[in-house]
Amino acid sequence: MNSNHRKYTKIIKNEASRLGFLSCGISKAEFLEEEAPRLEKWLKNNMHGQMGYMENHFDKRLDPTKLVPGSKSVVSLLLNYFPKEQQRSDSYKISKYAYGTDYHFVIKDKLKQLLYFIQQEIGDVQGRAFVDSAPVLDKAWAARSGLGWMGKHSNLLTKQLGSFYFIAELIIDLELEYDNPITDHCGSCTACIDACPTKAIVEPYVVDGSKCISYFTIELKNEIPRDYSGSFDDWMFGCDVCQDVCPWNRFSKAHSEPLFNPKPELLQMSKKDWEEITEEVFQKIFQKSAVKRTGFQGLTRNINYLKD
Which residues are annotated as catalytic? 132
Backbone angle region of 87, left / alpha / beta, with phi > 0 → left and psi within -120 to 50 → alpha: beta
Look up residue 218 and give its DSSP letter: I
Query: Long-range contact list for 198-203, CB < 8 A, 24+ apart?
Result: 198/228, 198/231, 198/232, 201/152, 201/153, 201/154, 201/242
Look up residue 84 and give its DSSP letter: S
Backbone angle region of 49, left / alpha / beta, with phi > 0 → left and psi within -120 to 50 → alpha: left
d(C-alpha 273, C-alpha 266), whole Å: 10
d(C-alpha 176, C-alpha 76), whole Å: 13
Cβ-proximal residues to 289 (8 Å cutoff; 6+ apart), any chain? 98, 99, 100, 101, 102
Q: Is the CB of residue 163 less than 8 Å from the CB of residue 178?
A: no
